[in-house]
């Protein structure tokens, strides 16, 4: 475990501009930025279980309005904890979203800013797991990592984790029946998945290893990071999860034209079964902490890495998201900076500490997770991170600091796309040559009306805010070999 740096690794650009612009956008009747939150009360360090679904939309859970897919365990989690209605993912796609989650830095500052195999964490980066390790936690990661691969500084065992089981690279985690997975630095083979057979559903193996880790380490503070791979396509789930939904929805084939990927002849039933299987596994976590007698000292957080997906053959993935209203009333999907790509479910449960059945409209984002967990563990986060601790909101104690603003960016071949939110106002710019769109989320959660022409002064201020929030990205060395499907499926 490396020690924390004496000097901040990341430096903000133009902080006075950012603060000034935010202050200028505070509206009459709104609260100003609060004083720093009070430190958490002296208490045993909580166990922390952070569950992150993959491409689960804002509206996919019953607690967020879902009517067709059954999610009783996640609904119970919300009923026994706190539900956030304005939580934002770190990005609109997976890899940078996880970088924001692990480092507390938004995509204008975080190391990994794109779904790009060559982008990874360096030794100098400080993750949630490293901070918790300084506080005496044992940390395990189970699922999809995405921030470095074997032999690199971005490997989870070099970023504070004591154990890892799952898939390091994005493309590996696309497959539910791969013929191998990583356990620490060793490959675990699944010969029962070779030759097109479906022997071990890898999400089940991931979940089993996560439960074993919790059971083995429950007598000391533990951090279990569960970046589960459901419901990202490919579209497949064992029969016991799909069968309850068969015949309940219109039968639509949602096929996958990518070689080696599995599609479904009954796509709506399949994706519903995938989400219910995820829900069942969350129920397994809840049952285990109860069985081990650690329920009252365990914080469980559930969220998703970005909004629900779209695209696919004949727009099949779009159709399945729309059929279930997977992004709720929000515009857009994964891969867009509209609310449907960024706003995600976020539930926190800690019996006796978080008031059950509570709802908060506090505006928060993935960069807030690191300072929140650091405060609960009694350690200082790195200087100049972008996140703010959510402890005052979670524990209803002290004043909650508010963000000056939230910022996202993503570079493609056509240039940088970006978005920002300050208070009620949301700016979206889909490329450097596109105009800045403006939406009033207080009156238009669906972002149906671009009001940029009516508020040019707000557009100008948000544009300057976005300019100030960006720092140049790292120049990552190229990776000579890129993985292919044959590396994972045979």
- pLDDT tens readout for residues 289-337: 999 999 999 999 999 999 999 999 999 999 999 999 999 999 999 999 9
Give domain status of residue 166, yes or no. Answer: yes
Q: How far apart are CA 192 and CA 172, in angstroms?
A: 17
Q: Which residues contact 56 (CB under 8 A, 6 or more apart)?
A: 230, 231, 275, 278, 304, 308, 326, 344, 345
Q: How far apart are CA 60 and CA 164, in angstroms?
A: 28
Give domain status of residue 447, yes or no. Answer: no
Give domain status of residue 468, yes or no. Answer: no
Domain membership of residue 52 as a residue range: 45-404
Place of tokens 């300019």: 467
pLDDT digits (tens, 9 = 90+) for 118-129: 999 999 999 999
Give domain status of residue 4, yes or no. Answer: no
Q: How far apart are CA 235 and CA 229, in angstroms?
A: 12
Give domain status of residue 434, yes or no. Answer: no
Give domain status of residue 372, yes or no. Answer: yes
Q: What is the DSSP letter of 142?
A: E
The residue among 327, 344, 335 whose CA lies nearest residue 419 is: 335
Paired tokens of 127:
């993750």
Place of tokens 């599995």: 262
For the chain, the domain total comes to: 1
C-alpha to C-alpha distances, 89 to 45, 105, 128, 232, nearest whole angstrom: 26, 12, 16, 16
pLDDT digits (tens, 9 = 90+) for 376-389: 999 999 999 999 99
How big is the CA angle at 51 (ends 182 and 343), to the nearest 5 degrees? 120
Give domain status of residue 449, yes or no. Answer: no
Provide the whole-model pTM. 0.92
Give domain status of residue 464, yes or no. Answer: no
The residue among 324, 322, 307, 311 whose CA lies nearest residue 273 is: 324
CATH number at residue 102: 3.40.720.10
Q: What are the pLDDT tens digits along the chain (490 aa)?
A: 333 333 333 333 333 344 445 444 544 334 333 333 344 445 689 999 999 999 999 999 999 999 999 999 999 999 999 999 999 999 999 999 999 999 999 999 999 999 999 999 999 999 999 999 999 999 999 999 999 999 999 999 999 999 999 999 999 999 999 999 999 999 999 999 999 999 999 999 999 999 999 999 999 999 999 999 999 999 999 999 999 999 999 999 999 999 999 999 999 999 999 999 999 999 999 999 999 999 999 999 999 999 999 999 999 999 999 999 999 999 999 999 999 999 999 999 999 999 999 999 999 999 999 999 999 999 999 999 999 999 999 999 999 999 999 999 999 988 999 999 999 999 999 999 999 999 999 999 999 999 999 999 999 999 999 999 999 999 998 876 788 889 999 9
Helices and strands per DSSP (H, E), number in the chain: 12, 15
């Amino acid at each position: 475990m490396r020690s924390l740096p004496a000097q901040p690794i990341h430096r903000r650009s133009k902080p006075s501009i950012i603060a000034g612009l935010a202050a200028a956008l505070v509206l009459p009747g709104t609260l100003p930025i609060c004083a720093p939150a009070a430190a958490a009360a002296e208490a045993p360090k909580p166990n922390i279980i952070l569950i992150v679904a993959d491409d689960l939309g804002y509206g996919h859970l019953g607690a967020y309005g879902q009517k067709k897919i059954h999610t009783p365990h996640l609904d119970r989690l919300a009923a026994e904890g706190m539900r956030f209605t304005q939580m934002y993912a770190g990005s609109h796609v997976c890899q940078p979203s996880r970088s924001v989650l692990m480092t507390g830095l938004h995509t204008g500052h975080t190391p990994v800013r794109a779904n790009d195999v060559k982008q990874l964490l360096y030794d100098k980066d400080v993750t949630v797991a490293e901070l918790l390790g300084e506080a005496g936690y044992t940390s395990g990661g189970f699922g999809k990592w995405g921030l470095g691969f074997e032999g690199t500084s971005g490997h989870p065992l070099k970023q504070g984790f004591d154990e890892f089981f799952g898939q390091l690279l994005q493309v590996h985690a696309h497959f539910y029946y791969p013929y191998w997975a990583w356990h620490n630095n060793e490959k675990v083979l699944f010969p029962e998945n070779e030759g097109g057979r479906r022997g071990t559903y890898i999400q089940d193996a991931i979940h089993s290893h996560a439960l074993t880790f919790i059971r083995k380490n429950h007598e000391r503070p533990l951090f279990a990071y569960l970046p589960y791979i459901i419901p990202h396509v490919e579209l497949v789930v064992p029969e016991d999860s799909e069968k309850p939904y068969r015949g309940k929805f219109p039968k639509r084939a949602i096929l996958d034209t990518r070689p080696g990927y599995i599609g479904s002849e009954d796509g709506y039933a399949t994706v519903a079964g995938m989400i219910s299987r995820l829900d069942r596994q969350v129920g397994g976590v809840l049952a285990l902490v109860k069985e081990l007698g650690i329920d009252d000292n365990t914080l469980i957080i559930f969220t998703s890495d970005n909004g629900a997906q779209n695209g696919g053959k004949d727009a099949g993935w779009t159709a399945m998201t729309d059929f279930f209203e997977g992004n709720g009333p929000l515009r857009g999907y994964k891969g867009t900076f509209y609310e449907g790509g960024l706003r995600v479910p976020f539930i926190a449960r800690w019996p006796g500490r978080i008031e059950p059945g509570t709802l908060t409209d506090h505006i928060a984002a993935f960069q807030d997770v690191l300072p929140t967990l650091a405060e609960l563990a009694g350690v200082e986060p790195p200087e100049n991170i972008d996140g703010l601790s959510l402890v005052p909101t979670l524990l209803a104690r002290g004043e909650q600091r508010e963000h000056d603003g939230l910022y996202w960016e993503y570079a493609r071949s056509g240039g940088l796309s970006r978005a920002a939110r300050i208070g009620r106002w949301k700016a979206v710019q889909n490329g450097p040559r596109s105009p800045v769109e403006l939406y009033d989320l207080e009156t238009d959660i669906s972002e149906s009306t671009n009001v940029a022409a009516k508020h040019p002064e707000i557009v100008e201020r948000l544009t300057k805010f976005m300019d100030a929030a960006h720092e140049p990205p790292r120049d990552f060395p190229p990776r000579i070999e890129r993985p292919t499907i044959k590396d994972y499926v045979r």
